[in-house]
Chains A and B, each alone.
Chain A
Amino acid sequence: MTEKPLISINKLNVEFPLGRTLFGKPPMLSAVNDVSLDIMPGQFYGLVGESGSGKTTLGKAILRAVHISSGEITFDDSDVNYDVGSLAKKELKNYRKLAQLIFQDPYAALSPRMTVRDIIAEPLEVMGLTKTREETDERVRDIAEKCRLNLEHLRRFPHAFSGGQRQRISIARTLVCNPKFVVADESVAALDVSIQADILNLLQSLQDQLGLTFLFISHDLSVVAHICDHVAVMYLGTLVESAPTRKLFDNPSHPYTKALLSAIPSLDPDDRGKAQKLEGEIPSPANPPPGCKFHTRCPMAEDRCRKEVPQWRELSKDHYAACHLV
C-alpha cells in the first residue's frame, strides 16, 4: 500500500507513577511499552489482549486522554496533520472533533437525566459545531436515523431502553460530530450475543456509509475476527503480533497468539481437551519479567528469551511479530 496511514504510532511509551515519593522520581509502571503501529484510512483495526495488557491505555493515548511519556503519534488526514503528543489546547479541541470514543458500558455512559436528543446533541453544542437549534436537531435526527434509532424515541430518557438500544444511542452521540477516527473500547462486551451481532453489523455499515476508521479494542477474538481487517495482539504493554485478520487467524506465529486462539471455547463438544493450555497468569505490569515478557508462561521459552527483548520484525508482508523463535 502506498497510501499514507491515518494514525501512525512510533515507539510509544505510556507510564504511570506508582505512588509518590518525597524526593526523586517515584517508580513508574509502564502500561504501553515501545509500541509502533500504523492504522490506514478506512481500516477496521482490531486490538486484542487480556486484562492488564494495556490495550485501553493505548486507545486513550491516541485520543490524548492520557499523558504520552515518549514516542510519537501522528494523525494525518489529507487536510490536516496533527502531532498528537504535542497538541496545544486549541488544537486539541479541533483534534477531538476528528477522533472520538465509544464506551463499553451503555448503562453507565448515558446520563439518566437527559433525553436521548440532548445526549446526542451535547457534543455539537459543546464543540460549537452548529449555530442554531434547528441545525442541531437536523444533525441529531440524521445520525439517529443512520444508527437505526426510532426518531420518536428522541424525547425519552435512557432508562426506557434496552442495552442494545442504549449502545446505539451511545454510537450516535460519538458519530454526531462527524469524526474521522473512532476508538471502540469493548463496545459489545456488555451486550448479549443476539444484540452484539446487531451492533457489530451496525458498526460495519456505518463505517461504509461514513468512511470511518476504527480502532476496535476487545478481549474477544472471535468478535475481532469477524469485524476487523487487521489485528494486533498485546501482552503486558507490548505488541506481540500484528497481521491482516486472515493471516493472523490462519497462521498465528507468536506462541501467545496461538495460546489465545486455542483457549477460545469451541462450539464443538468433540473438541474437548484439545486446547493448548497456558500455565500461570499474566504477571503484574508493575514488575514485568525481563527479556521477552511472555517467557514466564511460554511453552517454548529458551534461555535467550529470559535475557533479550525480542525485536519487532516483519515475517511476511504486513505480518509482524516479536519472538526470538519464529
Chain B
Amino acid sequence: MSLLKVKNLNLQFRTDEGLITAVENVSFEINAGEVLGLVGESGSGKSVTAKSLMQLNPSNSVYSPESSIKLELESGGVDVLSLKNPRELVVVRGGAISMIFQEPMASFAPAITIGAQMVEQLMIHTSMTKKESAALSVEMLERVGISDAGMRFHQYAFELSGGMRQRAMIAMALSTKPKVLIADEPTTALDVTIQAQVLDLMKDLVKEFGMAILFITHDLGVIAQVADRVAVMYLGSIVESGPVREVLQSPSHPYTKGLLNALPKLDALDEPLTPIPGDIPSPLERPPGCVFHTRCPEVLAEKCDSSVPQRTNVGQDHSVSCFAVDSTGKAA
C-alpha cells in the first residue's frame, strides 16, 4: 500500500511570456519506510514537483485537472490538490509532510533561537504543552547527534556550523513525526565528510521512524548510497524510474546513460569524460515530442521530435519513456 501517490501531475507557471510547463505527466508512488530518489540537473523540475506535494509553489502555478496527489493517512485519505486555504493545508504542511531544504542557514529564522522555532511548530501541529515541546525538541537534537543539545537549544542558527545546522533542520522536521519527509538537496552545501555523516543519520532515522523519504539531489553517487528506488527527471518529465541498483547498473534511457558517462569515476581514471552534447533547452522553448530529442545520441528521425514516448516496462518496476528502447530494455 503506497503512502503517497502522485498521478499525472502537470504544473505550469503563468508568466508574462505565457504558460511555462515546469512538470509534465509525472507519476510516482512512495511506500512507508522507502527512500525514493529524484535526480536531475538544474531546471529539471525536481524541486517544483516536491513543493507541489505541499502546495508550496507560488500563486501563479496552474495544476491541470487530471493531476492528483493522494496521501494515505491513518485518519483516511487526503487529496492534497483539493485543499484550498492554509488552514486546511496544515494537515499536510509540517503535519503529514515535512521538508528539509538545501541551505539550512536560509531556512532558519536568523533572529529567533533554534529552540523557539522548534517549539513553535510543535505547538501548532501537536497538542503538547510548551514544556513538553521543549523537552521533545532537546531530545530530538540529541537524537541527531548534536552534543550539548540543551545549550544549542538556546542558540541562534548563525552560532552553529553548517553540518550542525543541517542536523538541527532534520531534528526539527522529524519532531512532528511526519509520514513523508521531503529532502531537497540536503547535503549539497556540506563538505563530503559531513555529507557522509548526515546521510548515515538519515538512513538510521528512516529505519527508526518508518517514514517515506523523497530525496532530491543532482548527485547520482548520493542516490546510490541512500535511495531504494530512483526516478530520473529531465525538463519536467520522468524519463526513467526503477530500483536504484537496476537503474544505475543497467540504465536504459539515453539521458540516464549520458549522465552516468559524464560523471568522473574514481575507479576509471583513464576513461575520457563524455559530456551530453548541447545545453538544456530553456523552459520557454520546450522541445515538442520527446523532451530529450535535441540532445539525444540515439534520436530516431521523424519519431522523437513529433510524438511523446509512453512509459514502457523494461523490468520489474523499472520503466522508461523512450522510443529507442523496447520492452526488453535493449535499444530497439
| B-facing residues in A264-297 (Cβ within 8 Å) | 264-272, 275, 277-278, 281-282
Write 10 A-B pairs (CB below 8 A) sorted by A numbering: A196-B262, A201-B275, A222-B264, A223-B264, A263-B192, A265-B196, A265-B224, A267-B221, A268-B248, A270-B245
Is A79 an interface position by the 8 A CB rule? Answer: no
User: With the chains together, A162 CA to B282 CA distance in Å?
Assistant: 9
Task: Please give, as numbers and ranges, the residues of chain B lying within 8 Å of A268 by CB-CB distance.
Answer: 224, 248
User: With the chains together, A24 CA to B251 CA distance in Å?
Assistant: 65
Whether A225 touches B266, Cβ cut-off 8 Å, given contacts A192-B42, A267-B220, is yes
What 7 A-B pairs have minimum CB-CB distances, sorted nearest first? A265-B221, A198-B275, A194-B276, A197-B273, A50-B191, A192-B41, A197-B275
User: With the chains together, A315 CA to B253 CA distance in Å?
Assistant: 47
Q: How far is the CB of B180 from chain A (nearest CB, A)?
A: 22
Is A219 an interface position by the 8 A CB rule? Answer: yes
Q: How far is the CB of A239 from chain B (nearest CB, A)?
A: 18
A260 touches B193 (CB 8 A): yes
A281 touches B273 (CB 8 A): no
Task: Please give, as numbers and ranges, the residues of chain B lying within 8 Å of A223 by CB-CB distance.
Answer: 264
B218 touches A192 (CB 8 A): yes
User: With the chains together, A222 CA to B220 CA distance in Å?
Assistant: 13
Whether A226 touches B269, Cβ cut-off 8 Å, given contacts A162-B279, A219-B192, is yes
B273 touches A226 (CB 8 A): yes
Is B22 an interface position by the 8 A CB rule? Answer: no
Q: How far is the CB of B242 from chain A (nearest CB, A)?
A: 12
Is A16 an interface position by the 8 A CB rule? Answer: no
B194 touches A281 (CB 8 A): yes
B275 touches A269 (CB 8 A): no
A193 touches B195 (CB 8 A): no
Chain B interface residues toward A at CB < 8 A? 41-42, 161-164, 191-197, 199-200, 218-222, 224-225, 244-245, 248, 258-266, 269, 272-276, 279-280
User: With the chains together, A260 CA to B262 CA distance in Å?
Assistant: 22
Task: Please give, as numbers and ranges, the residues of chain B lying within 8 Å of A193 by CB-CB distance.
Answer: 41, 218, 220, 259, 262-263
User: With the chains together, A130 CA to B316 CA distance in Å?
Assistant: 65
User: With the chains together, A265 CA to B200 CA distance in Å?
Assistant: 11
Return the chain A residue nearest B220 by Cβ: A267
5 more CB-based (< 8 A) A-B contacts, given A197-B261, A221-B266: A51-B162, A193-B41, A193-B262, A226-B273, A265-B196
Task: Please give, as numbers and ranges, the residues of chain A lying within 8 Å of B192 by CB-CB distance.
Answer: 50, 219, 221, 260, 263-264
Return the chain B residue nearest A250 by Cβ: B269
Task: Please give, as numbers and ranges, the residues of chain A lying within 8 Å of B200 by CB-CB distance.
Answer: 277
User: With the chains together, A260 CA to B232 CA distance in Å?
Assistant: 28
Task: Please give, as numbers and ranges, the residues of chain A lying within 8 Å of B218 by CB-CB distance.
Answer: 192-193
User: With the chains together, A219 CA to B248 CA distance in Å?
Assistant: 24
From A195, A226, A245, A275, B275 is in contact (CB under 8 Å) with A195
A222 touches B266 (CB 8 A): yes
Whether A269 touches B221, Cβ cut-off 8 Å, given contacts A193-B41, A197-B274, A260-B193, is no
Is A82 an interface position by the 8 A CB rule? Answer: no
B280 touches A162 (CB 8 A): yes
User: With the chains together, A270 CA to B222 CA distance in Å?
Assistant: 13
Task: Please give, as numbers and ranges, the residues of chain B lying within 8 Å of A200 by CB-CB distance.
Answer: 264, 273
Is A307 an interface position by the 8 A CB rule? Answer: no
Q: How far is the CB of B271 from chain A (nearest CB, A)?
A: 9
User: With the chains together, A113 CA to B248 CA distance in Å?
Assistant: 43
A266 touches B196 (CB 8 A): no
Return the chain A residue nearest B280 by Cβ: A162
From A162, A245, A278, B269 is in contact (CB under 8 Å) with A245
A225 touches B269 (CB 8 A): yes
B279 touches A272 (CB 8 A): no
Task: Please give, as numbers and ranges, the residues of chain B lying within 8 Å of A261 by CB-CB distance.
Answer: 266
Q: How far is the CB of B189 from chain A (nearest CB, A)?
A: 9
User: With the chains together, A196 CA to B42 CA distance in Å?
Assistant: 13
B191 touches A282 (CB 8 A): yes
Q: How far is the CB of B269 from chain A (nearest CB, A)?
A: 6
Whether A281 touches B199, Cβ cut-off 8 Å, given contacts A162-B280, A267-B224, is no
Task: Please give, as numbers and ranges, the residues of chain B lying within 8 Å of A11 by CB-CB distance.
Answer: none
Task: Please give, as numbers and ranges, the residues of chain B lying within 8 Å of A266 by CB-CB distance.
Answer: 221, 224-225
Task: Please give, as numbers and ranges, the residues of chain A lying within 8 Å of B259 by CB-CB distance.
Answer: 193-194
Whether A265 touches B219, Cβ cut-off 8 Å, given contacts A195-B275, A277-B200, is yes
For B193, B260, B262, the residue with the greatest tally of chain A CB atoms inside 10 Å of its CB is: B193
Q: How far is the CB of A264 from chain B (nearest CB, A)?
A: 6
A269 touches B248 (CB 8 A): yes
Task: Please give, as numbers and ranges, the residues of chain A lying within 8 Å of B194 by CB-CB distance.
Answer: 50, 281
From B164, B225, B264, A225 is in contact (CB under 8 Å) with B264
Is A165 an interface position by the 8 A CB rule? Answer: yes
Return the chain B residue nearest A198 by Cβ: B275
Task: Please give, as numbers and ranges, the residues of chain A lying within 8 Å of B197 by CB-CB distance.
Answer: 277-278
Return the chain A residue nearest B222 by Cβ: A265
Q: How far is the CB of A286 from chain B (nearest CB, A)?
A: 13
Is A249 an interface position by the 8 A CB rule? Answer: yes
User: With the chains together, A174 CA to B275 CA distance in Å?
Assistant: 23
User: With the chains together, A278 CA to B194 CA distance in Å?
Assistant: 8
User: With the chains together, A261 CA to B279 CA distance in Å?
Assistant: 31
Task: Please give, as numbers and ranges, the residues of chain B lying within 8 Å of A194 by CB-CB distance.
Answer: 41, 258-259, 262, 275-276
User: With the chains together, A315 CA to B247 CA distance in Å?
Assistant: 42
For A259, A266, A271, the residue with the greatest tally of chain B CB atoms inside 10 Å of its CB is: A266
Q: How far is the CB of B88 from chain A (nearest CB, A)?
A: 37
Task: Please give, as numbers and ranges, the residues of chain A lying within 8 Å of B258 by CB-CB distance.
Answer: 194
Q: How far is the CB of A197 from chain B (nearest CB, A)?
A: 4
Whether A263 touches B41, Cβ cut-off 8 Å, given contacts A193-B259, A249-B269, is no
Task: Please give, as numbers and ranges, the residues of chain B lying within 8 Å of A226 by CB-CB distance.
Answer: 264, 269, 273
User: With the chains together, A272 CA to B35 CA distance in Å?
Assistant: 14
